[in-house]
Amino acid sequence: MKNRIKQIALIIFFIVLLAFPLVYKRYLAGNDVANPVEAGSTAIERYGFTLTESAKASGIDFRHSAPRLDSKLDHIMDQVASMGAAVSVADFDRDGWQDLYVTNSGEGSRNALFKNLGDDTFRDVTSEVGLDGLNSRENGVSMGAVWGDYDNDGFEDLFLYKWGKPELFHNDGGKSFTRASEQAGLPKWVNANTAIWFDYDRDGKLDLFVGGYYADDVDLWNLKTTRMMPESFEYASNGGRKYLFRNLGDGKFEEAGERLGIKSTRWALAAVAADLRGTGFPDLFIANDYGVSELFFNDGGKKFREVGRQTGVGYAPKSGMTAAVGDVLNQGRFGIYVTNISEEGVLVQGNNLWMPKEGTAGDDIKYENLASAMGVELGGWSFGAQFGDLNNDGFQDIYVTNGNVSLDKEKSYWYDYSKVAGGNRAIISDAANWPPLDGRSLSGYQKKRLWINDGAGSFKEVAQLVGVNDVFDGRSVAMADFSNSGKLDVVVANQKGPLLFYKNTVAPENRWIAFDLEGSMSNRSAIGAQVRVFWNGRQQVQEVSGGSGFCAQNQRRIHFGLGKATAIDRVEIRWPSGKIETVRTPEPNKIHKIKETA
Amino acid sequence: MTPEVTASGSSPSAPAPSTIASPSGASGLGWFFSLENRYLVPMFITTILIIGQISFGLLESWWQTFLAIAISILTELALGRIMTGQWPNMASAYISGISVGILIRSPLFWPYALCSAISITSKYVIRWRGRHLWNPSNFAICMMLLLAPEYVATLSVQWGNTIWPMLIVWTLGALITWRVKRFHITATYVVSFLFFAFIRGAMTGHGFLAEVAPITGPMYQLFIFFMITDPKTTVSSKRMQCLVAFLVAAMEMVLRLSENIHAPYYALTIVGPIAMAIEIWRTSRKQVESGPATA
């Protein structure tokens, strides 16, 4: 009898174990069902904002096209030619309104510069300013672009990186652009998927980091061999070279990456620079596909030290596709968000939110991945992501776009992909061994993620609830206040899809403050300047960025949400030159233009 | 993937002694590689784990693997004590835990704990005539893949970029399975897999190398050295063991043709218990038939 009771109890215990995942899912689903709000006024009440896709209404009509590479890759063309849709923001003509630059990748296709007319519409001025004809089989096709005023003349210049010949365009007074690539001394060919402007040595001149994806000697239109794929799904180091172009000040740059200690040949997809240790010098974080992320500490602008393992961010290899920094908990410290791949039942890498460990700082700083604990880990095949306070509640939210290859909805390439991805180097590195895609999808038609930050250590996913309903193959995300009204809009570039412009409507009771910075001793773009806002007993730090996310660049303007606070205690600006300025009780709901005092 | 390699596993009906003695005359290296050393396999798998993690970051994290091992051992201790009244030997539970810790991938913690708990509990619940039918961790991994695919995948990485770690694991694994007299199972499966890979390649047009690719990864090495060779859940006769290994590979081929990513796990989960059930049924029939004759 006693044994019988034990057996029954054991069976019940077993059933409880098996039922746990279903109960857990039901519990999570129940939380969402409890909030069945539609995008609209109710969503604003609940979440403080809604997004409305309004590209066409804003005069933006742009569709990305993919290149047609060497026919030896025909069987996996959609998988290989799966990047190149990118967006970056800058006020190129200094009229006070943020403009948009988007890249295209089909041979003969056109990138586009959309000028913000200040009335909620944009006009394509690409041809007017001389930025036509940049994608070709001979010179390669665009992968992304970043803006930075490399000659400190007050106008943002444009660096365009490609699978091909990188190009630098000098901005001639906001009216036209002149090619400056030869004078700058850029290499003839880089298969790059990331680039950022930053002043690593704080000499007041912007330097340029460029991260290669495929090795430099690979011409994707004229392959000498099909053995050009990654040698491993998670440990590949046969990717592209990393360049750090030091600005010499006369329109010339010298390549200094290797000399300064940046020697990686991993498959870089994203980079971000920020002062993570409070040294005043920007450190460099690189998210790599097919491998671990790398973190380079900047030792006084004289040397870079790779500290991925030491700090904890470079241990578990994943498929890094974005790198963005944000002060997640309003602690005055940056967390680093890295997107990866998660596909139900196949590959659950999870995105990483690297947060500084309590009690660690400076050279001894350690990071721990809190993506799971904070609820921002599962984002599908995640590509671009950015931090930004979309509801102006005073906390940085995260927008993630995703989806890799959307073809036949009913057929998946995952089985064949996983087959070869787990194979030995000799097999995976040869494209000829990769089974044909045959019109199947690979993590296609995915729902986007928009996680709003509750400020207490957890995020809530609200994408569908606030109006983000697209399922395109998203790549690049950028945020900017295009209407100068204190709210961040979101622009998403989609692979072989339309450019989406999500216009933001924010609850009016939430206040904000923004800063347009201009360096004088520092680089004029003020890239690297840190702004720390103190209000209501809390603080938040942001840094002017020369590129972040996946092939993207947000506006240089720094935007803070303040919640319902009516007053700000003070704002501290630490310029790249090292100079610190304090602004006491600045007025909220206003864009403050601040020039570094000489 | 719970290989309860040596004779006295943790069966509730036949609890194992909790200590192990070096048999007389066998000492040092001889004993280390002997059949009596039930810790040989746990030590090997631990070595794989440590080398894999230190060299390549094989694991999701140390903590998740530790959690899987801890829950596995605690569940075994609790259920062994409650159900049999004795403290069970921990080697089997340790291997279950470590297998779960290596083979499932999730950024979350609870799947590791749950998978380990299901693994051990299944041994005590799903039994027929005193024997459990499923390899515990194989069963638990399949359950996790079926019930929680949003949160769980399986190990899919390679041993870094070089062939050396793979060769070392293959060599050591082959040596150990040879010593514990299970190599014929491994060999049969590998040969069958290669044969079926050739057939699949011809059928799909994907090429032999693409079809062979999966077996070059660590997941398969753990599968063929530890999971399909598990004495507790394999049939008795050598010939039948080879047949079952062949059938597992055949079932895997069927599943692969229908593009099932976790084909080896499901193949073993389908074929293994059927083979076990047939053997248990035949054994009991023989006992019934021979009973009156000997009486």
ipTM of the complex: 0.83
For residue A554, pLDDT over 80 is answered with yes
- Residue bearing tokens 């102006």: A392
Residue A1, pLDDT above cutoff 70: no
A500 and A57 Cβ atoms separated by less than 8 Å: no
**pLDDT score recorded for residue A190:** 98
User: For residue B137, which amino acid is it?
Assistant: S
Average pLDDT over residues A114-133: 97
Least-confidence region, from A360-374, B78-92, B215-229, B241-255 = B215-229
Edge to edge, the sheet with strand A322-326 lists A322-326, A335-339, A352-356, A367-369
Give the 3-state secondary structure percentages of chain A, helix then strand then coil, rounded to 5: 15, 35, 45
Helix axes A2-33 and B62-84, enclosed angle (nearest 10): 150
Q: What is the mean pLDDT of residues A345-359?
A: 93
Q: Cβ of B161 and A22 within 8 Å?
A: no
What is the model's pLDDT at position A26?
Answer: 86
Q: How many residues does chain B have?
A: 295
Contact A435 B210 (CB under 8 A): yes
Asked if B150 lies within 8 A of A345 by C-beta distance, the reply is yes
Question: A 403-432 residues with CB below 8 A of B?
Answer: 412, 414-416, 418-428, 430, 432
Highest mean pLDDT among A370-384, B20-34, B38-52, B154-168: A370-384
Residue-level pLDDT at A425: 86
Average pLDDT over residues A364-378: 94
Output the DSSP codes for A154-207. SS-EEEEEEEE--EEEEEETTTEEEE-HHHHT--S-EEEEEEEEE-TT-SSS-E
Compute CA A237 distance to the chain's CA centroid, rounded to the nearest angstrom.
22
Q: Determine which of A27-31, A159-163, A531-535, B106-110 has the lowest per-residue pLDDT on average.
A: A27-31
**Number of helices (H), then strands (E), in chain A:** 11, 40
Is residue B204 scored above 70 in pLDDT?
yes
Mean pLDDT of the A101-127 span: 98
Q: How confident is the model at residue A319 (pLDDT cuts 50, 70, 90)?
A: very high
Q: What pLDDT band is residue B194 in, cutting at 50, 70 and 90? A: very high
Nearest to A146 by CA among A542, A502, A555, A522: A555
Choosing among B86, B123, B261, B262, which should be mutated to test the A contact, i.e. which has the most A CBs within 10 A? B261
Average pLDDT on B17-26 reads: 39
Average pLDDT over residues A266-293: 97
CB B53 within 8 A of CB B64: no
Reading phi first (left if > 0) and then psi (alpha if -120 to 50, else beta), residue A498 is in: beta
Chain A (258-317) residues lying within 8 Å, Cβ to Cβ, of chain B: 292, 315-317
Q: Is A341 on the interface with B (CB under 8 A)?
A: no
With 70 as the cut, is the pLDDT of residue A40 above it?
no
Please report the pLDDT score of residue B13 as a whole number. 34
B216 and A424 within 8 Å at the Cβ level: the answer is yes
Q: Are A267 and A288 in contact (CB under 8 A)?
A: yes
State the average pLDDT over residues A551-556: 98
The arithmetic mean of pLDDT across residues A262-275, rounded, is 97
The whole-number pLDDT of residue A41 equals 55
- pLDDT, position B55: 73
Name which of B108, B158, B211 is nearest A422 (Cβ-Cβ): B158
Q: Is A447 on the interface with B (CB under 8 A)?
A: no
Whether the per-residue pLDDT at B176 is higher than 60: the answer is yes
Task: Using CA coordinates, name the residue in chain B closest to A10.
Answer: B125
Question: Average pLDDT for residues A327-352, to the nearest whole number?
Answer: 94
Residue of A nearest to B208 (CA): A433
Summarize pLDDT for A147-171 with one digit per residue, the tens: 999 999 999 999 999 999 999 999 9
Look at residue B19 and tell me whether its pLDDT is greater than 60: no
Q: Is the per-residue pLDDT at B4 higher than 90?
A: no
Instruction: Quote the mean pLDDT of chain A.
Output: 95
Among chain B residues, the shortest Cα distance to A371 is held by: B107
Mean of the pLDDT values across residues A548-569? 97
Answer whether A514's CB lies under 8 Å from A531's CB.
Answer: no
CA distance B79 to B61: 27
Whether A21 has a pLDDT exceeding 50, the answer reads yes
Spatial strand order in the sheet of A122-124 = A122-124, A112-116, A99-103, A86-90, A552-553
**What single letter denotes the amino acid at residue B294?**
T
- Residue B172 pLDDT more than 90? no
The pLDDT assigned to B160 comes to 65
Per-residue pLDDT at A178: 98
B62-101 as b/e: b if 16+ CB within 10 A = eebbebbbebbbbbbeebbeebbeeebbbbbbbbbbbbbb
B106 contact residues in A (CB cutoff 8 A): 348, 350
Residues A67, A134: contact at Cβ < 8 Å? Answer: no
CB contact (8 A) between residue B213 and residue A420: yes
* Per-residue pLDDT tens over the stretch B83-103: 988 898 888 899 899 999 988
Residue B155 in this model has a pLDDT that exceeds 80: no
Residue B34 has a pLDDT of 59
- Asked which of A25-39, A461-475, B114-128, B169-183 is least confident by mean pLDDT, the reply is A25-39
What is residue B56's predicted lDDT score, i.e. its pLDDT? 73
- Tell me if A416 and B108 make a contact (CB, 8 A cut-off): no
* Distance (Å, whole) CA A133 – CA A146: 18
What's the pLDDT band for B122 if we cut at 50, 70, 90? very high
Higher pLDDT, B207 or A482: A482
Q: How far apart are CA B153 and CA A514, in angstroms?
A: 43
Tens-digit pLDDT profile for residues A204-215: 999 999 999 999
In chain A, % of residues over pLDDT 70: 98
The pLDDT of residue B2 is 45
Chain B residues in contact with A237 (beta carbon < 8 A): 161
Q: Above 50 in pLDDT, residue A456? A: yes
CB contact under 8 A, A416 and B125: no
Neighbouring residues of B285: CB distance < 8 A, sequence distance ≥ 6: none
Distance (Å) from the alpha carbon of A235 to chain B's nearest alpha carbon: 5
B50 pLDDT higher than 90 = no
- Residue B29: which pLDDT band, with cuts at 50, 70 and 90? low
Chain B residues with CB under 8 Å of A415 CB are 256, 259-261
- A-chain residues near B53 (CB < 8 A): none
Task: List chain B residues with CB under 8 Å of A436.
Answer: 206
pLDDT tier for residue A275 given thresholds of 50, 70 and 90: very high
- Model confidence band, residue B62 (pLDDT cutoffs 50, 70, 90): confident
Chain B residue numbers touching A372 (CB-CB < 8 A): 107-109
Separation of alpha carbons B240 and B191, rounded Å: 16
pLDDT at B295 over 60: no
